[in-house]
């Protein structure tokens, strides 16, 4: 028997049973706080705040790309042109991330009963590939060409001005992303680094990583310009462009890897799975939870499936009530849990995550 019951708190057409004192405390308690089991860092709001972060980053990157291009053409600096390509790649990335946010918010339908949350990771994956192909590829090309041809540099003054202004603007975008990360990290009681490593909101992760890479890239470009100006050797400009390409390559790889894992169905963290298992195991008429599986189905959205060993003397009505209560508790106490499926199973140690196939013949 697989049990899934609509969340009565959000379904006005469903009859609600009287709430106990414990239930009242549950409603007052902050979801996933220390009062009710801990906060999964996988679950967080990813709507308006993330969209705002993406829009700010996109507008900033577009303006910076134009300024860097002008500075690069005037100074004949491959590092500046690489930074212009970097900003163009970041702008295209923000467009993909905005599409990811909007597409991922589509409601479930008959063909996609769990919603479109994972489409967010598809577009975010495409965005990471864009960073690699456009930004890193162009930077490598410019750097190698400059090292081989050693074209003399033009007036670097415009480039220095553009780099300074760009650093300020990129810093503003980066600080906005950092504020969002820190706020979410405080909410869930984890460090900002821990939040970034575990969050399923890949849009804020992408913006944070890309803005950080942009600031480092600006420093590399300025260093290349300075060394070339001091030594008179364009080699340093080419080396700086290649370093920017390597930086973009690392960022693209990290983001692509994170999105790939989420796209194909990543589980929640072991800590969260243990909390969910303990919650079900503490229910009346439950002897054990021999198997529990989770899957991230979108930013801050988790599906829970478990095989449950009920008491041998539990009636069908007892099992139905326990299944009702289990889902109600998981959804109300663990923010991010969207679907709960329970499968009563005998406690003989043979519970497995395998589809039952009919015998061939």
Beta partners for residue 340, in sequence order = 304
Three-class secondary structure of residue 123 per DSSP: helix
- pTM assigned to the model: 0.69
Alpha helices in the chain (DSSP H): 21-28, 48-75, 78-104, 119-130, 137-149, 157-188, 192-198, 202-231, 235-263, 270-281, 316-333
pLDDT at 102: 82
Residues of the chain by 3-state class (helix, strand, coil), percent to 5: 60, 10, 30
CA dist 282 and 51 (Å) reads: 39
Phi and psi torsions of 302, nearest 5°: -125, 135
By C-alpha distance, which of 157, 139, 134 is closest to 71?
A: 157
CA dist 221 and 159 (Å) reads: 9
User: Are the beta carbons of 32 and 333 closer than 8 angstroms?
Assistant: yes
Task: List the Cα angle 332/333/336 in 5-degree steps.
Answer: 75
CA dist 129 and 148 (Å) reads: 28
Q: Which two tokens stand for residue 162?
A: 């553009």
CA dist 224 and 4 (Å) reads: 60
Could you list the pLDDT tens digit for every one of the 361 residues in the chain? 334 333 333 333 333 333 333 443 343 343 443 333 333 444 444 455 567 767 777 777 788 888 888 888 887 788 888 888 888 887 888 888 888 888 888 888 888 888 888 888 998 888 888 777 778 888 898 889 888 887 766 677 888 888 898 898 888 888 888 998 998 888 878 888 888 888 888 878 888 888 898 899 999 989 998 998 888 888 998 999 899 899 989 988 888 888 888 888 888 888 889 999 999 999 888 999 999 999 999 888 899 999 999 988 888 999 999 999 999 999 988 888 999 999 998 866 565 655 444 454 4
Q: Which two tokens stand for residue 54?
A: 């993406």
- Strand order of the β-sheet with 337-344 is 286-298, 301-310, 337-344
pLDDT at 75: 78
By C-alpha distance, which of 167, 159, 153 is closest to 68?
A: 159
pLDDT at 309: 92
Rg of the chain (C-alpha set) = 26
Other CB atoms closer than 10 Å to residue 361's CB: what's the count? 3
* Alpha-carbon distances, residue 170 vs 106, 218, 351 (angstroms): 31, 9, 53
Judge residue 354's burial from the number of C-beta atoms within 10 Å of its C-beta, 0-12 exposed, 13-18 middle, 19 or more buried.
Answer: exposed
């Amino acid at each position: 028997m697989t049990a899934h019951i609509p969340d009565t708190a959000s379904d006005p057409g469903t009859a609600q049973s009287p709430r106990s004192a414990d239930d009242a405390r549950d409603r007052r308690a902050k979801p996933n706080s220390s009062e009710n089991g801990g906060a999964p860092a996988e679950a967080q709001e990813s709507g308006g705040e993330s969209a705002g972060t993406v829009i700010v980053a996109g507008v900033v990157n577009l303006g910076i790309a134009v300024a860097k291009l002008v500075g690069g053409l005037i100074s004949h600096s491959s590092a500046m042109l690489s930074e212009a390509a970097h900003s163009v790649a970041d702008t295209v990335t923000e467009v993909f991330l905005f599409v990811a946010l909007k597409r991922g918010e589509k409601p479930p339908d008959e063909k996609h009963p769990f919603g479109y949350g994972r489409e967010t990771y598809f577009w975010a994956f495409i965005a990471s590939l864009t960073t690699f192909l456009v930004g890193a590829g162009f930077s490598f090309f410019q750097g190698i060409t400059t090292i081989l041809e050693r074209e003399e540099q033009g007036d670097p003054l415009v480039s220095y001005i553009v780099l300074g202004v760009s650093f300020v603007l990129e810093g503003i975008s980066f600080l906005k992303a950092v504020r969002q990360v820190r706020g979410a990290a405080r909410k869930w009681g984890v460090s900002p680094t821990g939040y970034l490593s575990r969050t399923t909101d890949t849009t804020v992760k992408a913006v944070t990583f890309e803005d950080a890479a942009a600031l480092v890239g600006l420093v590399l470009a300025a260093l290349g310009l300075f060394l070339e100006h001091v030594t008179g050797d364009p080699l340093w400009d080419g080396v700086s462009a290649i370093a920017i390409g390597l930086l973009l390559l690392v960022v693209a790889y990290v983001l692509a890897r994170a999105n790939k894992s989420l796209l194909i169905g990543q589980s929640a963290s072991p800590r969260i799975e243990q909390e969910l298992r303990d919650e079900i195991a503490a229910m009346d008429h439950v002897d054990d939870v021999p198997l529990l599986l989770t899957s991230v189905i979108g930013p801050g959205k988790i599906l829970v499936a478990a095989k449950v060993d009920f008491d041998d003397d539990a009636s069908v009505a007892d099992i139905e009530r326990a299944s009702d209560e289990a889902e109600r508790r998981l959804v109300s106490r663990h923010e991010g849990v969207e679907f709960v499926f329970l499968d009563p199973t005998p406690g003989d140690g043979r519970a497995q995550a395998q589809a039952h196939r009919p015998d061939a013949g």
